[in-house]
Amino acid sequence: MRTPGQEPPHHPDASLDPDRLDELWDFGDPAGSERRFRDELVSAGDGIAAAELRTQLARALGLQARYDEADRLLDDLDPASCPPMVGVRRDLERGRLRNSSGDRPAAVSLFRAALEQALAAGEDFLAADAAHMLAIADPDRAAEWTRRGLAVVEASTDPRCARWAGSLHNNLGWHRHDAGDYPWALAEFDAALTAYRAVGTAEQVRIARWSVARCLRSLGRLDEALAIQTELAAGPSDGYVDQELGELLTALGRPEEGAVHRAAAARKLGGGKD
pLDDT per residue over 126-173, tens digit each? 999 999 999 999 999 999 999 999 999 999 999 999 999 999 999 999
pLDDT of residue 14: 63
Q: What is the greatest pairwise CA distance in the chain?
A: 66
Q: Is residue 50 part of a domain?
A: yes
Q: Is residue 60 part of a domain?
A: yes
CA 147 to chain centre: 17
Is the Cβ–Cβ distance between 6 and 42 less than 8 Å? Answer: no
Which region among 67-71, 84-88, 90-94, 205-209 has the lowest average model confidence (pLDDT)? Answer: 84-88
Q: Is residue 40 part of a domain?
A: yes
pLDDT of residue 13: 54
Host domain of residue 53: 17-69
Sequence length of the chain is 274
Q: Is residue 190 part of a domain?
A: no
Q: Is residue 220 part of a domain?
A: no
Residue 45 phi, psi (nearest 5): 75, -145
Q: How many distinct structural domains can be found in the chain?
A: 1
Q: Please state, in angstroms and rounded to a whole number, the distance separating the CA atoms of residues 155 and 56.
A: 26
Q: Is residue 110 part of a domain?
A: no
Q: Please state, in angstroms and rounded to a whole number, the distance separating the CA atoms of residues 150 and 131.
A: 9
pLDDT class of 44 with cuts at 50, 70, 90: confident
Q: Is residue 44 part of a domain?
A: yes
Q: Is residue 261 part of a domain?
A: no
pLDDT class of 96 with cuts at 50, 70, 90: very high
